[in-house]
């Protein structure tokens, strides 16, 4: 379907290759859904799922809303569309630590007046937000953030200005494909990182899934929604452990495990089976 060697990408691709949106998104989707399927086969059945940005597609698959192959095609098309948008309007992203949402948003508005598009792209945790936009604008906000007392500002190894208005062409290209893709009702609790709320009707959510390309990720809100409903343990099934770190910043008492920490996953599996 995609023509990509998924095994090679997941196991051996270099950083430059994985920075390409069309490649990275397929690789992350394939790995995340495979790990989730393995854990479920071992007895670790999710009570609720939530995905960060692209991870919403994996969450839809795990929740029973989206067929895996159809999801793969959407992710492939999404990645291509975002790569084309990034080539037409180059941009970047940076993580800002230690400033409030309001302060960072104000700095973005200040920089955008003279340097081009820049917005808050991810509301990740009480201490981290991510900005996205034109390179000069992101650099300007980074300088202003340091002057305002940010603990750190770190540029991200990404291929474009994701979750910003610069991705609008990708949104337009993906729209007809998403419109034609069947979505079923979730079989487990499903929270959206686009709205931060529980998804009740996937047909209503279809538009939000499209809008997530240019809208910010409300990760802190989504995790808070699950915590309020009783979630105490979070398993990160994608590559790395970034989301586990963010969850602990949001809820220091939450227990977390990652796909890279199979000992932790096995502990949760034993608890689930018992």
Q: Which of 32, 53, 125, 193 is catalytic?
A: 53
Task: Identify whether 163 is a catalytic site residue.
Answer: yes
Q: Which of 52, 142, 163, 192 is catalytic?
A: 163
DSSP string, the chain: -----HHHHHHH--HHHHTSHHHHHHHHHHHHHHHHHHHHHTT---SEEE-STTHHHHHHHHTTSS-HHHHHHHHHHHHHHHHHHHHHS--EEEEEESS-HHHHHHHHHHHHHHH--EEEEEEEETTEEEEEE-HHHHHHHHHHHHHTT-SEEEE---SS-TTSGGGHHHHHHHHHHHHTS-----SSEEE-TTTSSB-S-HHHHHHHHHHTTTSPB-HHHHHHHHHHTT--EEEE-SSSSHHHHHHHHH-TT-EEEETT-HHHHHHHHHHHH-
Q: Are 221 and 120 in contact (CB under 8 A)?
A: no
**Six-digit token string for 200:** 């009740």
User: Catalytic residues, which ones?
Assistant: 53, 163
């Amino acid at each position: 379907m995609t023509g990509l060697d998924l095994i090679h990408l997941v196991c051996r691709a270099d950083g430059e290759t994985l920075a390409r949106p069309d490649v990275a998104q397929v690789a992350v989707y394939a790995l995340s859904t495979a790990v989730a399927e393995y854990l479920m086969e071992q007895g670790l059945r999710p009570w609720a799922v939530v995905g960060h940005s692209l991870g919403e597609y994996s969450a839809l698959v795990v929740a029973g809303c989206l067929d895996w192959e159809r999801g793969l095609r959407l992710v492939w098309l999404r990645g291509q569309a975002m790569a084309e948008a990034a080539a037409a309007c180059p941009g970047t992203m940076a993580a800002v630590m230690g400033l409030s949402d309001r302060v960072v948003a104000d700095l973005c508005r200040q920089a955008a007046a003279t340097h081009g598009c820049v917005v808050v792209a991810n509301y990740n945790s009480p201490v981290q937000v991510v900005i996205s936009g034109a390179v000069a604008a992101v650099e300007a906000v980074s300088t202003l953030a340091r002057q305002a007392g940010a603990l750190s500002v770190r540029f991200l190894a990404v291929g474009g200005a994701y979750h910003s208005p610069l991705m609008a062409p990708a949104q337009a290209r993906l729209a007809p494909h998403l419109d034609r893709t069947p979505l079923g009702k979730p079989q487990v609790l499903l929270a959206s990182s686009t709205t931060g709320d529980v998804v009740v009707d996937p047909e209503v959510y279809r538009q939000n899934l499209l809008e997530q390309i240019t809208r910010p990720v409300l990760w802190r809100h989504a995790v808070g929604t699950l915590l309020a409903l009783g979630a105490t343990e979070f398993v990160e099934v994608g590559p790395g452990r970034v989301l586990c770190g963010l969850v602990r910043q949001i809820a220091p008492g939450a227990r977390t495990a990652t796909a890279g920490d199979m000992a932790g996953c096995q502990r949760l599996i034993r608890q689930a089976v018992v």
